Amino acid sequence: MLTRFKERIQALLGTEARLLHKAGFTPNKISAIGILFAVLAGCSYWAWALEKNNLFILLGAILFLLSGFWDALDGIVARLYGETSVFGGFLDSLLDRYADAFIFIALIASRLWDPISGSGALVGSLLVSYSRARAEATGVKMETVGLAERAERIIILVVASLIALFKIEAISWSAIILAILTNLTVLQRTIFFYNASKQR
């Protein structure tokens, strides 16, 4: 859904992208920083289990947002300076999956997420991305199809993390919401692909 605003977001982040490129950051280096923030976010969520301090949840949300921010910048830099490549796109997508998986597993391990709903969210998240990759490999564009693409998943978890500062149950609700929405998105993409393939 939010992917529809991709061009507008890219225009807003153009200045930051130019500054990073001027400082010597390549798209792959920016991708590496994005995954680093994701790992730190996962560690922060997991640290909550040790200290039971809700500030770890807030820190995890901030780090997850930073991960998404850097993830957006790598593609902008690549397009602005003609540094796009097949491998770069592959690496970016691969690191996004690792980032999501690391954070979701950390939430399950910390018991902030129930193992069942958390596993549903994890599987659904991975299949949302896989369904797009598999469809686009056959020439069917899947961008913007579905309720819970990566941007929406980040926002849901971040908002739940902020609410959890006052009501800890909110973080567990996010697992249920993500489990439902991601798997619904997979269903939407399956139907979309079915209709598109019939027209060929």
- Residue whose entry in the numeric block shows the structure tokens 């792959």: 28
Domain of residue 93 covers: 2-198
**If you average pLDDT over every residue of the chain, what do you get?**
90
Q: Which two tokens stand for residue 198?
A: 């019939």
| CATH number of the CATH domain containing 54 | 1.20.120.1760
Question: How many domains, in total, are found in the chain?
Answer: 1
Position 86 confidence tier, pLDDT thresholds 50, 70, 90: confident
Q: Which two tokens stand for residue 88?
A: 């770069």
Position 4 confidence tier, pLDDT thresholds 50, 70, 90: low
Is the pLDDT assigned to residue 93 strictly greater than 60? Answer: yes
What pLDDT, on a 0 to 100 scale, did the predictor assign at position 14?
A: 78
| Residue 166 identity (one-letter amino acid) | F
13-27, 36-50, 122-136, 164-178, range with the lowest pLDDT = 13-27
What pLDDT, on a 0 to 100 scale, did the predictor assign at position 144?
A: 86
Is the pLDDT assigned to residue 75 strictly greater than 90? Answer: no
- Measured distance CA(59)–CA(21) in Å, rounded: 28
- Measured distance CA(102)–CA(118) in Å, rounded: 12
Catalytic residues: 96
What pLDDT, on a 0 to 100 scale, did the predictor assign at position 193?
A: 95
